[in-house]
Amino acid sequence: MLMQSAQQSGTAHVIVLGNEKGGSGKSTTALHIAVALLKAGQRVATIDLDCRQQSFTRYINNRRAWAGQAGLSLEVPDHHCLQLGDSMQVAENEAFELEQFAQAMAAVERTHDFIVIDTPGSDTFLMRLAHSMADTLVTPINDSFLDFDVLGSVDAANYTVIGESHYAQMAREARRKRRQHDGVTTDWIVVRNRLSMVGSRNKMLVAGVLDQLAFRLGFRPVDGLAERVMYREFFPRGLTALDDLNEATLGRRPSMGHVTAREEVVELLRKLKLPLDERGRRRAANRAEWALQADKPLDLHDIVGS
């Protein structure tokens, strides 16, 4: 079985981005995590399970293309994108997609430190499988009750959590299977995305229900990215808030907002508590040393350092 072989022979730490709700920030967060890890000297593979939309794949392709076009050295992960099966039979399509997934995992699990898997905003067979393989499951949610609804339901009178929704039950079941299978407890982190920069009643109430549900389901709720137009502007050039944003990369001078965005991504990575490979840290430190000697801007080598 795929999960068995990955866990027995593989050493890569698997990070899965998942939320059945579309548009919650999975692909944006996935690229930021992958680039952060690359900048920390880790060997990173990425897999796009959103075979139809392929936003993650396009984001990475845009990054590679922009690096080539502008002569920049932007880190690019070893990326794999799965194709959709085109049979009329659901079972045949699932078998075809499973085979591709198995091949993609087999190609990277021993040669990389991390595998970052982006999943679609819908309940699919591969998306469920990926959830049961996650060492770290990252669920971005937009900071609104409508988005919270995929995780849990709330009593309208007093804002207490009264139930768990479909996606939350699926994720809990996937974790249970994983624990039974090899004793590993998936670290599940629910990341509040597109946070408003000012305090509001909504922000406070959503924080309250997330804390309640975290207690019931055993995930860690953390603050993620603020609502910033720049995260939308990055896509055509495949940039992230962690890149050296200057006239060459961005096409304009970076703003204070870029500096703050970078800090919030660094902070998010710290909160994910990912197990960094020591050799990778040294690789990144050496690179930073070299960059310093070459009188270039210091690379962000310690972004996920503890």
Instruction: Report what 187 binds from Mg ion, ligand ATP, none; CB cut-off 5-8 Å by kind.
Output: none
Instruction: Report what 142 binds from ligand ATP, Mg ion, none; CB cut-off 5-8 Å by kind.
Output: none
Binding mask 212-251 for ligand ATP (x = CB under 6 A): -------------x-xx--xx-------------------
User: CA–CA separation, 238 vs 298, rounded Å?
Assistant: 21
Q: Taking a C-beta distance cutoff of 8 angstroms, is the pair 137, 18 a contact?
A: yes
User: CA–CA separation, 151 vs 168, rounded Å?
Assistant: 5
* Minimum CB–partner distance for residue 152 and ligand ATP (Å): 19
Chain-centroid distance, C-alpha 185? 18
- Identified binder of Mg ion from the candidate list 27, 136, 193, 240, rule CB under 5 A: 27
User: Which residue, 24 or 100, is less far from ligand ATP as judged by CB?
Assistant: 24
Asked if residue 28 binds ligand ATP (CB under 6 A), the reply is: yes
Instruction: Report what 231 binds from Mg ion, ligand ATP, none; CB cut-off 5-8 Å by kind.
Output: ligand ATP
**DSSP summary character for residue 82:** P
Asked if residue 55 binds Mg ion (CB under 5 A), the reply is: yes
- Identified binder of ligand ATP from the candidate list 121, 221, 254, 280, rule CB under 6 A: 121
Q: Taking a C-beta distance cutoff of 8 angstroms, is the pair 301, 285 a contact?
A: yes
* Minimum CB–partner distance for residue 225 and ligand ATP (Å): 4
Q: How many residues make contact with Mg ion (CB under 5 A)? A: 3
φ/ψ of residue 178, rounded to 5 = -65, -40
Residue 232 neighbours by CB distance under 10 Å = 9
Binding mask 157-196 for ligand ATP (x = CB under 6 A): ------------------------------------xx--
Among candidate residues 156, 262, 272, the one with its CA nearest the CA of residue 209: 156
User: CA–CA separation, 181 vs 87, rounded Å?
Assistant: 32
